[in-house]
């Protein structure tokens, strides 16, 4: 889901590449052609995309944890089924994305290992804890809402497998945000206690959600190549503003207050938010958020405890293959 | 003040539906605990699908139990506001996930039964139960396929996986007898053609088990001493913890809509 | 012993009878049986399919994009293969 915040520039290692091919490649991009796995591409394009898609995939998989935290405690059977289906979808999205990244030549195992070794990033938002049921509503409404803002333009990304994965993800994800908003609406129409729970969740998640879109354009030096290659089609601030403008009326409808007393609507109708605390963003991204260590520990534990299962399946497959070969030889 | 337990008028039919609903919910809940933690992403998807099937079955059965009871209970009250002694599920399904082998052996034992059970129940004279059976049978058939393939791979995989799978079989075997037991209330329903006699399924169930376990190079225990009690609300210590988590919201915030 | 990477499979799904199988994505599985099950669990959970093919990714032989000109451009000039190349008076009606 969440890639915008993670885009980083690639060092220029194109020196050895044929300038003519690079120009042809750029011409194809400019003509809105899609690039496919076996096509020639600049090494930096491959590297940037591998990084971005795999970070996106890691985010989906780590993103299962905060919401998964509430599957066993969902307050009704209807909510339980919906939440489980939603978290399962995120796993599916991670799976599609790893497959898209693999078309660029790095195996899923390597990509996952890099994440588990702490060498790859994932979206900072998942390093915040889910404390109450209202957090599940808020994540669906805001975190998925922000993700959708990011992902819709990615459906037109220049790299074919990524764009196709995004189309599938967007299609499946359309229920996620509605699911979250419905939870919020139910809380806001409920008791004072429930409404307070909803407001508390919004208070805690609002700023981290705005950070999901990444550093402000003025300080972000990374977007140039991504934009040129049509991996990225809108700037961080553009998407963030679009998100805020879409969200404010939704919050008003719920009767919730966005925790930004300085927010005003300008003459063009845009909601101007206050300064974001980028120190917090940097700290969370650097591993110092409230849950970074827990998230990584949980992923490593599942990976390690699953090793014998993966090994058993591989060994069995080899045995079966050998038996079939022996049978055929008889 | 925490929410109190509801009272359920357990007529034979209500109790019959509740028992199957509890089986499905508790097993679905256990599988949902895996979500995000499976040995591979593909298996995360598979276990969640099975959990969703089971939770779906539970919802239909609870709704039917509530209707058969005819009071103001509903699926959520039945799931969230009965205490451990009021739960009627098999001891098998409440056993902790343990390692992947234990989860899959538990699933295998149950699904091998459920597949036969729901297929037989499609002929129930009770139209609702027959309809639930028709849907559940297809789901259970796939659950059995999925679990069987894993039992074979774990049993005939590495030394470690074989050891873990055999340990799970040995551990869970004593919880399987309960699936075939019948009490007086159920006997009357069987007589009326509403329920089926699970005892008649045991032979075919054993054949399924023997086939798969044999291919997996595992062995079934010889000991036929079986644990009983789940159907009467005498559970293992594990269920109380499961329920305290499952029910925490409804117990903490009584009477609210979510 | 290091476990080898789990093989990659390509998944093709027939969404309705009468339609061809279409590539929908990939997955990892240790063998064909598991690949088929995983494809069902991943790619048909919204009722997307009635039939599934799984193919080891390594079994696919692909044309080389660098040979695109040689492979595909010669077909472009054969416009007489298309119905619109031929003129039929309107009065004749649909043909």
CA dist., res. A147 & res. A238, Å (int): 14
Q: What is the CATH number of domain A3-276?
A: 1.20.1260.10
What's the pLDDT tens digit per position in B174-200?
999 999 999 999 999 999 999 999 999
CA dist., res. B253 & res. B1, Å (int): 8
Q: What is the mean pLDDT of residues A240-260?
A: 98
pLDDT at A291: 97
What's the pLDDT tens digit per position in B46-102?
999 999 999 999 999 999 999 999 999 999 999 999 999 999 999 999 999 999 999
> Given a cut of 50, is residue A3 above it in pLDDT?
no
pLDDT at A8: 42
CA dist., res. C68 & res. A96, Å (int): 28
Mean pLDDT of chain A: 93
Is C61 within 8 Å of chain A by CB? no
Find chains touching chain B: ≥3 CB pairs under 8 Å: A, C
Could you tell me the domains of chain B?
Answer: 12-219+227-252 (1.20.1260.10)
Contact (CB<8Å) C65/A92 = no
Q: Which two tokens stand for residue A45?
A: 């394009």
Residue of B nearest to C46 (CA): B49
What's the pLDDT tens digit per position in B98-141?
999 999 999 999 999 999 999 999 999 999 999 999 999 999 99
Residue to test with chain A: of B41, B55, B94, B166, most A Cβ within 10 A: B41
The CATH number for C57's domain is: 3.10.20.520
- Report the b/e string of A260-293 with b at 16+ CB within 10 A: beeeeeeeeeebebeebeeeebeebbeeebebbe
Q: Which two tokens stand for residue B237?
A: 């210590």
Is A39 within 8 Å of chain C by CB? yes
DSSP assignment of A183-198, as one string?
HHHHHHTS-HHHHHHH
What's the pLDDT tens digit per position in A215-233?
999 887 666 889 999 999 9
pLDDT exceeding 70 applies to what percent of chain A?
Answer: 94
Mean pLDDT of chain B: 97
What's the pLDDT tens digit per position in C22-45?
999 999 999 999 999 999 999 999
Q: Which of residues 124-143 of B touch C (CB under 8 A)?
A: 142
pLDDT at A18: 76
> Given a cut of 60, is residue A6 above it in pLDDT?
no
Q: Which of residues 20-59 of B touch C (CB under 8 A)?
A: 40-42, 45-46, 49
DSSP assignment of C46-94, as one string?
TS--SEEEEEEGGG-----GGGHHHHHHHHHT-GGGSGGGS---GGG--
Residue to test with chain A: of C1, C4, C56, most A Cβ within 10 A: C4
Domain boundaries, chain A: 3-276, 290-329
Among B81, B74, B38, residue whose Cα is nearest residue B58? B74
The phi, psi pair for C24, rounded to 5°, reads: -115, -20
Asked if residue C75 belongs to a domain, the reply is no
> Where in the sequence is the domain holding C29, given as residue range(s)?
6-61
Torsional class of C18: left (φ above 0), alpha (ψ -120 to 50), beta (otherwise): left
What's the pLDDT tens digit per position in A154-212?
999 999 999 999 999 999 888 999 999 999 999 999 999 999 999 999 999 999 999 99
Contact (CB<8Å) A310/B39 = yes
**CA distances for B170 relative to B5, B163, B203, angstroms:** 36, 11, 20
Contact (CB<8Å) C31/A316 = yes
Confidence of residue A11 (pLDDT cuts 50, 70, 90): very low
Contact (CB<8Å) A77/B58 = yes
Residue of A nearest to C31 (CA): A317
Contact (CB<8Å) A87/B35 = yes
Q: What is the ipTM of this complex?
A: 0.97
CA dist., res. B175 & res. B229, Å (int): 10
Asked if residue C19 belongs to a domain, the reply is yes
> Given a cut of 60, is residue C66 above it in pLDDT?
yes
Pairing of strands A271-272, C22-28: unpaired
Q: Which of residues 157-186 of A touch B (CB under 8 A)?
A: 183, 186
What's the pLDDT tens digit per position in A93-139?
999 999 999 999 999 999 999 999 999 999 999 999 999 999 999 99
**CA distances for A164 relative to A272, A288, C33, angstroms:** 34, 34, 26
CA dist., res. C43 & res. A96, Å (int): 10
Asked if residue C32 belongs to a domain, the reply is yes
Domain count, chain C: 1
CA dist., res. A196 & res. A204, Å (int): 12
Is A316 within 8 Å of chain C by CB? yes
Report pTM: 0.95
> Given a cut of 50, is residue A39 above it in pLDDT?
yes
Asked if residue C90 belongs to a domain, the reply is no
Among C20, C19, C11, C13, residue whose Cα is nearest residue C60? C11
């Amino acid at each position: 889901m969440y890639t915008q915040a993670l885009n980083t520039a690639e060092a220029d290692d194109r020196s050895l590449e044929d300038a003519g091919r690079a120009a042809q490649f750029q011409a194809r991009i400019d003509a809105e052609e899609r690039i496919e796995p076996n096509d020639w591409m600049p090494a930096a394009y491959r590297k940037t995309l591998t990084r971005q898609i795999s970070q996106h995939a890691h985010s989906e998989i780590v993103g299962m944890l905060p919401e998964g935290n509430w599957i066993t405690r969902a307050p009704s059977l209807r909510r339980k089924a919906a939440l489980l289906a939603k978290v399962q979808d995120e796993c599916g999205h991670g799976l599609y994305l790893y497959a898209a990244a693999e078309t660029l030549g790095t195996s899923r195992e390597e990509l996952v290992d890099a994440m588990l070794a702490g060498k790859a990033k994932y979206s900072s938002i998942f390093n915040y804890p889910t404390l109450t049921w209202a957090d599940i509503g808020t994540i669906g409404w805001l975190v998925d809402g922000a993700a959708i803002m990011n992902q819709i333009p990615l459906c037109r990304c220049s790299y074919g497998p990524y764009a196709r994965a995004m189309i599938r993800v967007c299609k499946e994800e359309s229920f996620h945000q509605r699911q979250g908003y419905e939870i919020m609406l139910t809380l806001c129409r409920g008791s004072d206690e429930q409404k307070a729970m909803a407001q508390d969740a919004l208070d805690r998640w609002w700023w981290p959600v705005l950070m999901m879109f990444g550093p402000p354009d003025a300080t972000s030096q990374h977007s140039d190549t991504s934009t040129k290659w049509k991996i990225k089609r809108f700037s961080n601030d553009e998407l963030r503003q679009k998100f805020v403008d879409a969200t404010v009326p939704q919050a008003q409808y719920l009767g919730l207050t966005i925790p930004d007393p300085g927010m005003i609507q300008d003459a063009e109708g845009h909601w101007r938010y206050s300064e974001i605390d980028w120190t917090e963003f940097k700290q969370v991204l650097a591993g110092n958020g409230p849950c970074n260590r827990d998230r990584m520990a949980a992923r490593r534990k599942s990976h390690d405890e699953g090793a014998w299962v993966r090994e058993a399946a591989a060994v069995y497959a080899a045995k079966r293959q050998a038996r079939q070969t022996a049978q055929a030889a008889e | 003040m925490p929410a109190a337990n509801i009272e359920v008028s357990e007529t034979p039919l209500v109790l019959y539906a509740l028992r199957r609903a509890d089986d499905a919910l508790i097993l679905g809940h256990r599988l949902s605990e895996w979500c995000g933690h499976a040995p591979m992403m593909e298996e995360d998807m598979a276990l969640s699908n099975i959990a969703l099937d089971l939770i779906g079955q539970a919802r239909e059965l609870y709704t039917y139990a509530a209707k058969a009871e005819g009071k103001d209970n509903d699926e959520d009250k039945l799931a969230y506001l009965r205490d451990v002694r009021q739960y009627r599920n098999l001891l098998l399904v409440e056993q902790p996930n343990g390692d992947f082998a234990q989860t899959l052996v538990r699933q295998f034992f149950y699904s091998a039964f459920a597949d036969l059970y729901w297929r037989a129940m499609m002929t129930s004279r009770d139209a609702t139960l027959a309809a639930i059976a028709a849907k559940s049978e297809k789901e259970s058939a796939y659950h059995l396929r999925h679990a069987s393939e894993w039992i074979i791979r774990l049993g005939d995989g590495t030394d470690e996986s074989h050891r873990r799978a055999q340990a799970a079989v040995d551990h869970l075997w004593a919880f399987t007898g309960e699936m075939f037991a019948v009490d007086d209330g159920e006997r009357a329903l069987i007589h009326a053609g509403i329920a089926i006699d699970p005892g008649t399924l045991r032979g075919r169930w054993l054949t399924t088990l023997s086939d798969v376990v044999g291919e997996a190079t595992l062995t079934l225990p010889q000991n036929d001493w079986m644990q009983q009690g789940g159907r009467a609300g005498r559970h293992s210590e594990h269920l109380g913890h499961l329920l305290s988590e499952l029910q925490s919201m409804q117990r903490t915030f009584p009477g609210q809509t979510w | 012993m290091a476990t080898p990477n789990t093989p990659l499979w390509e998944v093709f799904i027939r969404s309705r009878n009468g339609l061809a199988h279409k590539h929908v994505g990939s997955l990892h599985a240790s063998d064909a049986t598991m690949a088929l099950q995983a494809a069902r669990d991943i790619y048909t959970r919204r009722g997307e399919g009635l039939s599934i093919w799984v193919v080891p990714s390594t079994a696919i032989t692909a044309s080389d994009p660098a040979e695109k000109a040689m492979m595909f451009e010669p077909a472009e000039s054969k416009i007489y293969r298309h119905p619109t190349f031929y003129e039929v008076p309107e009065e004749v009606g649909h043909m």
